Amino acid sequence: MTFTNYSALKYTLKQTLVFLSWVPVLYVINEHVAFVGVVEGLSMKPTLNPESNGAKLDHVVLWKWNCKSIQNLNVNDVVFLRSPINPETVYVKRIKAKQGDLVVPRYPDTRSRVLVPVNHLWVEGDNIHSIDSNTYGPISSGLIIGKAVYIIWPWTRIGPIPTGGRECRESRLSERGG
């Protein structure tokens, strides 16, 4: 082996090792700190994915660090969560109530009330036809994958996640007189 071939091989091996040493770091960041999530479906329309044709799905920065702690989640945060019915399915919903809140469900009977248990959340899609806590009840905060904090795609929609959805907490409804 000539000196130039040895030098090129040594350089290639060094670059490969540097690259491979970053794989675990990127994995940890991806799994535990932040991730780019793609919002699919219409449950958050018109806040996310306002285009009907589905060609421009919103991509959001998904903050994962310490997001399962109920103290780090707020009413009106948009979250990615595992479905309580099928854990293989991921939903995107808005937190509408936290533990201890009394909720007025959307249907089937708006006269009934639901008390959100400890370490649980009431989540709803901004679209009235969303499958959400009105269907399956309060969800455990352990099902939360991450909190959507910023839209990064499409370029025309870059910015923080807009607020939206209905108010369903009985205490807030009575404050507003309705």
| Better-scored residue on pLDDT, 118 or 1 | 118
What pLDDT is recorded for position 166? 87
CA pair distance 30, 49, nearest whole angstrom: 23
Collect all residues with Cβ–Cβ distance below 8 Å to 91 and sequence separation of at least 6: 43, 80, 81, 82, 83, 123, 125, 131, 132
- Active-site residue among 64, 93, 96, 147? 93
Q: What is the pTM of this model?
A: 0.83
CA pair distance 105, 137, nearest whole angstrom: 9
133 is annotated as an active-site residue: no
Domain that holds residue 54: 33-175
Q: Which phi and psi (to 5°) does residue 71 adopt? A: -70, -25
Per-residue pLDDT, averaged over 3-32, amounts to 84
CA pair distance 159, 109, nearest whole angstrom: 37
140 is annotated as an active-site residue: no
Residues 86, 102 contacting (CB under 8 angstroms): no
> Is residue 8 domain-resident?
no
Could you read off the pLDDT of 83-141 as tens digits, one per residue?
999 999 999 999 999 999 999 998 766 678 999 999 999 999 999 889 999 999 999 99
> Is residue 20 domain-resident?
no
Is a pLDDT exceeding 70 seen at residue 55?
A: no
- Active-site residue among 7, 10, 14, 43? 43
CA angle 154, 90, 123 (to 5 degrees): 90
> Is residue 45 domain-resident?
yes
Q: Number of folded domains in the chain? A: 1
> Is residue 21 domain-resident?
no
Residue for token pair 């936290």: 98
Helices (H), the chain: 3-28, 133-136, 170-175
> Is residue 7 domain-resident?
no
Per-residue pLDDT, averaged over 54-78, amounts to 90
> Is residue 10 domain-resident?
no
Residues 77, 147 contacting (CB under 8 angstroms): yes
Looking up residue 98, the CATH number of its domain turns out to be: 2.10.109.10
Is a pLDDT exceeding 60 seen at residue 178?
A: no
| Better-scored residue on pLDDT, 28 or 63 | 63
Percent of the chain with pLDDT over 70: 91
Is a pLDDT exceeding 80 seen at residue 53?
A: no
> Is residue 89 domain-resident?
yes
> Is residue 100 domain-resident?
yes
